[in-house]
A and B are shown apart, each in its own frame.
Chain A
Amino acid sequence: MSGRGALLGWLLAGYAFLYAPIAFLVAFSFNDAKLVTAWAGFSWRWYGVLFADEALLRAAFLSLRIAVASATLATVVGTLCGVALARFGRFRGRGAFDAAVAAPLVLPEVITGLSLLLLFVAMDQAFGWPAGRGALTVTLAHASVSVAYVAVVVRARLAGMTPVLEEAAADLYAPPAEVFRRVTLPLLAPALASGWLLAFTLSLDDVVVASFTSGPGASTLPMVVFSMLRLGTTPELYALATLIVLAVAAILLLGLWLQRSNAAASGGQPIAGGAGRL
């Protein structure tokens, strides 16, 4: 009995450790004082300062634009990749190919950043495109990182579904493109949404790849926060952090909800199984 109590205590202590910095930021974003050490009463003041800071707002807007564009690009490419991987079956070198697709997930960000920086410099020299570095190169860089994440999500979703619906459509003389558009894609919708959200969040969070592949005048929000962070702390950033944590929690809950409708959709498998028996 005391063993269970100790384990529960350990669990709660682990959670407290995970949440300590986040709770601190959220609480002190409402602190009515310039210094971050002592509590001086509740106030919305730092949110006011935050929404008056034009440089930060501009960076936030740029980050959102990059995140939407790169997530969309990554979802298109990643979905094609995930579908082909899930449906292509076995071939020689399959294991190596799978490992290569998932490799960007564990590649250190500095390596990704450096390699893409070298790529963009070489491309600029060879073709004159993309000219210089800025929002476009950051978008391409983020998309190339996120493709692997989307592919993994899409593939996991397809792995749980039998291909009988696609086979039935093919038996009824639908060409591949039509089967993909009218059967595979609708089945994949929840995975596409969660893959897109994942790519969007990754792009909004990233500081390393962005600072390697960005140029002057195109500082994303994490880059600005990171440079402010090196200079010291201001409560304005606590307010920003609180908003970001809220957004992440909302996106995560949305993602979990989508996963649930994923699970509900795979309840449709008996129907697919029935079709296979016909």
Chain B
Amino acid sequence: MRKRRIWTPGRGYLSLLILPGIFFCAFFIWPLGTVVYQGLFQPRFGFGNYATILASTTHIRVLMFTFRLAGEVTLLCLLIAYPVAYTLSRAGEGMLRVGLAIVLIPFWTSVVIRTYAWSALFQRHGLVNDLLVQAGIVDEPIKFIYNEVGVLIGMTQILLPFMILPLLNAMRRMDGTLLRAAEVLGANPVRVFVHIYLPLSMPGVTAGVLLVFISAVGFYVTPAVLGGPQQMMIAVLIEQYVTRTLNWPLASALATILLIATTLLYLAYERATRRIGGMFGAEAT
């Protein structure tokens, strides 16, 4: 009988990495390198593109608005999601499954479609304004669309599951005996929450905040549809340079700025999630 060398699955599977390795370099590392290169070397080497960006108040305003709006969306998501995740985490196993499925359906529903729904709801004579006027809450239709309010509401709705899932993950992993110990020792519910529950849920808060903020900073569809000219975000600006003015070097320089910001935030997210096992922990998937 022919004898083959005994191999271990670990080392033996190294050859499996060849195809993904090539694919990964060709379609991820190399293209990203090209973006950075274009931003620095086109039309000629130097920081010319970056100087153009920094010298223009429009660009600065877009950058400032992008980060401010991402911060606002993140804060709103956290405020809405924390009590939701808290309530879900205290539910029984069956209820939790149902509750999660309810969160996941909008999560997987196309961003274009949900943005479209908001734009229809928020029209001057859309359903929201009709209801508000009929109920006598306002006399005149409120302007929800082509301004900051619309972008804020739309993005918060779309990114909310990204906050609920990591929060829930951290809350489910919490050691319940610590809470009971505090109760037994006579702490009132508020004190238990502030001194035990809140600190223990912080890894989830950090992960959720970073995840929502990263996604919000690079958001395109919702600000492009629900925002006006004053609500331009960096992704929309990049798209305009690519498809309309065909200024690819400037678009690349802007994309590099976005890339650096995203990378730094992602590294922070990696550190934060190592402790709670990622966004899709045992419960979320």
Residues on A close to B: CB < 8 A? 3, 7-8, 10-11, 14-15, 17-22, 24-25, 28, 36-38, 77-78, 80-81, 83-84, 87-89, 99-101, 103-104, 106-111, 113-119, 122, 140-141, 143-144, 147, 151-152, 156, 163, 166-167, 170-171, 173, 175-176, 179-180, 201, 204-205, 207-208, 211-212, 222, 225-226, 229-230, 233, 237-238, 241, 244-245, 248-249, 251-253, 256, 259
Q: Among B44-52, B56-64, B237-245, which stretch is in contact with chain A?
A: B237-245
Closest CB of chain A to B3's CB: distance in Å? Answer: 7
Note all chain A residues with C-beta closer than 8 A to B267: 99
CB contact between B28 and one of A122, A144, A225, A244 (< 8 Å): that residue: A144
Closest A residue to B241 by CB, please name it: A114
- The reply on B181 being an interface residue by CB < 8 A is no
CB contact between A77 and one of B12, B23, B106, B109 (< 8 Å): that residue: B23
Report whether over half of chain A's contact residues are helix, strand or loop; otherwise say mixed.
helix
- The reply on B206 being an interface residue by CB < 8 A is no
Q: A77-B19, A114-B252, A173-B3 are in contact. Are A237 and B215 (CB under 8 A)?
A: no
Closest A residue to B105 by CB, please name it: A249
- The reply on B144 being an interface residue by CB < 8 A is no
CB contact between B80 and one of A17, A106, A171, A225 (< 8 Å): that residue: A17
Closest CB of chain B to A217's CB: distance in Å? Answer: 16
- The reply on B75 being an interface residue by CB < 8 A is no
Closest A residue to B225 by CB, please name it: A229
Note all chain A residues with C-beta closer than 8 A to B231: none
- Cβ contact within 8 Å between B109 and A245: yes
CB contact between B16 and one of A109, A152, A180 (< 8 Å): that residue: A180
- Cβ contact within 8 Å between A170 and B14: no
CB contact between A110 and one of B27, B235, B285 (< 8 Å): that residue: B235
Category for how many chain B residues contact A = 35 or more
- Cβ contact within 8 Å between A110 and B116: no
* 28 residue pairs A–B, Cβ–Cβ below 8 Å: A3-B189, A11-B84, A19-B106, A24-B120, A36-B123, A37-B125, A38-B130, A77-B19, A80-B20, A81-B24, A89-B10, A106-B266, A108-B218, A110-B238, A113-B242, A114-B248, A119-B34, A147-B27, A156-B280, A173-B3, A175-B4, A180-B13, A205-B112, A207-B221, A230-B225, A233-B123, A244-B110, A245-B105
Closest A residue to B110 by CB, please name it: A205
Closest CB of chain A to B216's CB: distance in Å? Answer: 10
Note all chain A residues with C-beta closer than 8 A to B123: 36-37, 233
- Cβ contact within 8 Å between A173 and B4: yes
Note all chain B residues with C-beta closer than 8 A to A81: 16-17, 20, 24
Closest B residue to A164 by CB, please name it: B9
- The reply on B137 being an interface residue by CB < 8 A is no
Report whether over half of chain B's contact residues are helix, strand or loop; otherwise say mixed.
helix
Besides A114-B238, A114-B255, A212-B243, 5 new A-B residue pairs in contact (Cβ under 8 A), listed by A number: A8-B87, A17-B160, A99-B266, A110-B238, A166-B9
Closest A residue to B22 by CB, please name it: A77
- The reply on B119 being an interface residue by CB < 8 A is yes
In the assembly, what is the distance between CA of A142 and CA of B221, in Å? 17
- The reply on B104 being an interface residue by CB < 8 A is yes
In the assembly, what is the distance between CA of A3 and CA of B101, in Å? 25
Note all chain A residues with C-beta closer than 8 A to B126: 36-37
- Cβ contact within 8 Å between A176 and B13: yes
Q: A118-B38, A233-B116 are in contact. Are A248 and B121 (CB under 8 A)?
A: no
- Tell me the residues in window 232-275 of chain B with beta carbons closer than 8 Å to chain A beta carbons: 235, 238-239, 242-243, 248, 251-252, 255, 258-259, 262-263, 266-267, 269-270
Question: How does the 8 Å CB contact mask read for B81-123 relative to A, with 1 for contact and 0 for none?
Answer: 1011011100000000001011111101111111111111101
